[in-house]
Structure 1
Amino acid sequence: MTWSDPRGYDPMIALSAAFEEQNPGVKITWDKRSLQGFESTPVDQLAADYDLLIIDHPHVGAVARQGCLLALDELLPKTAMTALANETVGKSFISYAIDGHQWALPVDAATQVQAHRPDLGNRVGTWSDVKEVAKNRAVILPMRPPHSLICIFTLAGNIGHPCGSEQDRLLPEDVLGKVFSELKAVSDHIDPECFGMDPIAAMDRLAEDNTLRIAPLTYLYKGYSNKGYRANRLAFSDIPALGRSGPVGSALGGTGIAVSSRTGSPELCAQFAAWAAGAECQSGLYAASNGQPGNAVAWASEEVNAPVLDAYRNTRLTHEAAWLRPRHDGYMAFQAEGAEIVNEALTGKRPVPQAVKSLNRSFAESFKGVVH
C-alpha cells in the first residue's frame, strides 16, 4: 500500500517490475490511498492486509506499541543499516526509529519549503517579505488539516522554539501567541479556499493562477518543477525565515517503506525495502520513475537535480535543519484536533488566547496512557 500522488505510486510500480525480473516467481502488486488517508489512516489497519507499506513517520509510536510492523534492524545486516543511516537527508532515517528499533526506511524526503513561480518573480527570503507579498493577494498556503498545525510547528521551530519539548504543553503561551500572530498576518490575505487545500491542491493552483507568486510553506513536491507537469513550472527553495538563524525548524515530512508483521515473506520484503532505499536505486531507477528520493546521494546528483530546477540542492539546508514531529502513541489524535483548533483561530471562530490554551491542553492529554 502506497499513496496516490505520482511521486508515491509511480516509483513503486517501476521498482517492483525490476525486482520481479531479478527474483523469478515474485509478484508485487501495489494499491494506493489518498494523501489524506496516508496522513491519517492507522498503520495497523493497513498492515493486516499488506506486506509492504509506505508510511508517515508520526505513526511510529503507535506502530511500536501495536507490533504491526517488523523491526528492520532485526532483518537486515548491520552494514546495510549503517549505510542507510549515513546516507539520510536530515532526520529522515531516525524519524522511523523508536523504542530501539527501525520500523521503516526512508524512500522519500520532504519538509516544508518554499515554492514560487519563477516566471512571475523571485523567491523571498524572510517572513516579513511574505507578509508584504500577501498584502497583494499573491500568496497561497495549504491549510487543510493537518497542514495548518504544521505551519505553526515550522514557524515556532524557525524562531528557536521547537514544539513538544515538554509533555505538559506544546509551547509557552507567549511563543504560541507570537507564531499565531505571524501566521495570521499572512492567512488573513489568502483565499479562504486554502483552508480546504492540501499541498497538492495548493501547488496545482499556484501552477495555474497567474495572480499567485509564492507558497511560503508547503511540502516539497518535485513534480511541479518538471517541465510539462503543469501549465507553469514551480521552483522550490529554502523556507523564508521568521527568525535570525536561517531556514531551520521546518516540520519534517517524507515517507518510509515498512514491512507488516503479518507477512509470510519477511526476508524478501526487507530485501526489497533496503534496495528501494539504497543509494544506487534512489539515484537511478527511483528518481527516473517520478520518485522524490530520500537518499542523500541522490540529492547530490546532477542527473537527479537537472530536471527539477535543482529542487533538491535548493532546499537541502531546510531539509538538513528540519524538526522532527512528536511520534508518541497518541500524537496522531492530537495532530487532527490541533489542526482544527488552529483553523478555528485563524478564521475568527475562536479567540487566539483560547486556542493557545486548547492546543497546550490537547497536547498534554495526548500522552495519557503512554508508559514511560
Structure 2
Amino acid sequence: MIARVGLAAVCGAGGQDVITLRGITWDHPRGRQPLEETADFYADRFGVRVEWSARSLKDFGDAPIDALAERYDIIILDHPHVGIALTGRRPLLPLDTYIDPADLQTLAGQSAGPSHESYMLAGHQWALGNDGAMQAGSRRTDLGSFDWPGDWESVMALGTELTKGVSRLAIPLAPTDAVCSFISLCAGRDGMNEPARCFVKHDVGLWALGVLQRLLEVCHPQSPHWNPIAMYEHMSTHDDVAYCPLAFCYTNYSRTGFRPRQIAFGPVPQPRGSVLGGAGLGVSARCRHPREACNYGLWLCSAAVQRGLYVRHGGQPGNIEAWRDDAADEVTGGFFSGTRQVIENAFVRPRHVGWPAFQEWAGNTIRSTLLSRSDHAACLRAVESRYQQSLDAVEP
C-alpha cells in the first residue's frame, strides 16, 4: 500500500538525507517495542526515521492530545480522543487527504473488529489502527481446571468457590477500568446510548453496578488498586490470582519467557459488547512531512508488517490478518485464536470532544461508589447528568 505520493518518493536512495519524525506512544513494551525495534529497519529502507517517546497509560487514556500535536509529528492515540479533531484547535491531520482511498479501504477490510472504523469521524479518517485490543477474559491455566465462565452468574459462582482456596478472582478497578467494565456490562445487554443522547438505560446501568459490586466481594483485595498492567504483572509473578473475567488484554503476558508464568486470554462471560481498546496512529496537523508520516503509517499497519515484524517485536496488531495467522498465534501462546471473536464483537465508546473528560470523571465516580457501597441509583443519576453535559462540550 502507498500514500498518494508513493513510498518510492521517500525511499532513502541516492544518498538522500534521512528525514526524522518525532513520535509519542504509551509506556509499555506492547506500545513501545514494535515501534522502537523497527525504526532502524524502516529508516534503512525508506529514508525516514521515527524517534519515539512514551507517556503513561493513564495519560494515553485520559489526557488531551492537542498539546502533544504541538511537539510530535506522529501520535499513538486512543480512539475516544478523535473528537478533538473537530474542534477549532484541529490538532490532527485528516489522513484521507493524503492516503489513497483504495489503501484506506484495504485497511478497513483488514480491521481487527471495529479498530479501523473507530478512528473515522465526520467523514474523515483521523488515525490508522496499528494496535488492536478489547476487554477480554484471562486465567492461569495451571491454577485450576475450570472452564471459561459463560455468564456473570457463573463468574460469581467461580469467584465464591475460589475464595475457599489460595487463588482468587480479580478484576482491575482503577478509574478507567471501572467505567470501561461498566460500559462492557451495559453494552452486552444492549443498554448503551439508548435512547439517543442517553448514556445508558437506567435498569441496565443498575444491573451493571450490581454485578461490579458483587464481584468486589469475591475479588483479590488489590483489585480496586490495579489497572490491567498492574494486575497482569502480579498475575504472572504470583499464584494468588487464577482468573479475571474482564480487562484490557495484553498479548505480551501470553508469550513464553515474557514473565515467569504465562497468562491465557479468552472470552468474556457475555456474547458481545466488550469495550474496544487498542491504539491508532495519527499525524499532527503541524507535521512538516505529512506524506512521509502517512506512508510510515501505511507500512506499519499493513498485513505483512503486522503479522510479521510487529508481532515478533511484542506488538498486538490492529490488522485482523495477524489475528488469523497461525505463526503469530503460536508466538503469542494462542492469544489471537482465543480472543478473535471477542474483538470482532467489541463496542466502540463515544468519541465526542467531551468524552475523555467525562470518562475520567465517571471512572472516579463509579469506583468510589463501589468502594464506599454508596447508593447505585444516585451514582447513575450523577453519571447520566455529567454525560449530558459532555455532549454539549465544544473544547476538551
TM-score by length of 2: 0.89
Letter of the 1:278 partner, please give it.
S
Equivalent residue for 2:356? 332
1:95 partnered with 2:125: no
Q: How far did 1:168 drift?
A: 4.2
1:108 partnered with 2:131: yes
**CA distance, structure 2, for counterparts of residue 230 and residue 172 of structure 1:** 41
2:82 to 60, 64, 82: 60
Q: How far did 1:15 drift?
A: 2.4
Letter of the 1:224 partner, please give it.
Y
Q: How far did 1:37 drift?
A: 1.4
Letter of the 1:214 partner, please give it.
Y
Q: How far did 1:370 drift?
A: 4.8
**CA distance, structure 1, for counterparts of residue 98 and residue 309 of structure 2:** 24
**CA distance, structure 2, for counterparts of residue 314 and residue 260 of structure 1:** 35
Contact 2:63 2:356 in 1 (8 A): no
**CA distance, structure 1, for counterparts of residue 235 and residue 133 of structure 2:** 19
Rg comparison, structure with higher value = 2
The 5-angstrom pairing of residues 245-324 of structure 1 reads 246=271, 248-324=272-348
Q: How far did 1:296 drift?
A: 0.8
**CA distance, structure 2, for counterparts of residue 295 and residue 62 of structure 1:** 25
2:150 to 106, 114, 125: 125
Equivalent residue for 2:4? none
**CA distance, structure 1, for counterparts of residue 394 and residue 66 of structure 2:** 18
2:293 match: secondary structure: helix
**CA distance, structure 2, for counterparts of residue 143 and residue 12 of structure 1:** 29
Equivalent residue for 1:182? 211
2:94 to 71, 74, 93: 71
Contact 1:15 1:276 in 2 (8 A): no
Q: How far did 1:325 drift?
A: 0.2
1:200 partnered with 2:229: yes
Unaligned runs of 5+ in 2: 1-23
Further displaced range: 109-118 or 305-314 = 305-314
2:157 match: secondary structure: helix
2:50 match: secondary structure: coil
TM-score by length of 1: 0.95
Q: How far did 1:133 drift?
A: 2.3
Equivalent residue for 1:159? 189
Q: How far did 1:166 drift?
A: 4.1
**CA distance, structure 2, for counterparts of residue 38 and residue 172 of structure 1:** 28
1:129 match: secondary structure: helix
1:227 to 256, 260, 277: 256
Letter of the 1:198 partner, please give it.
N
**CA distance, structure 2, for counterparts of residue 191 and residue 309 of structure 1:** 25
**CA distance, structure 1, for counterparts of residue 231 and residue 97 of structure 2:** 40
CA RMSD in angstroms, aligned pairs only: 1.5
1:217 match: secondary structure: strand
1:294 match: secondary structure: coil
- Percent identity between the two aligned chains: 30
Contact 2:256 2:333 in 1 (8 A): no
Equivalent residue for 1:45? 67
2:241 match: secondary structure: coil
Q: How far did 1:283 drift?
A: 1.1
**CA distance, structure 2, for counterparts of residue 279 and residue 167 of structure 1:** 37
1:356 match: secondary structure: helix
How many residues are aligned here? 364
Deviations 1:24-46 (A, max 9, x none): 3x332100111111111211111
2:175 match: secondary structure: coil
Q: How far did 1:124 drift?
A: 2.5
Q: How far did 1:272 drift?
A: 0.1
Contact 1:167 1:367 in 2 (8 A): no
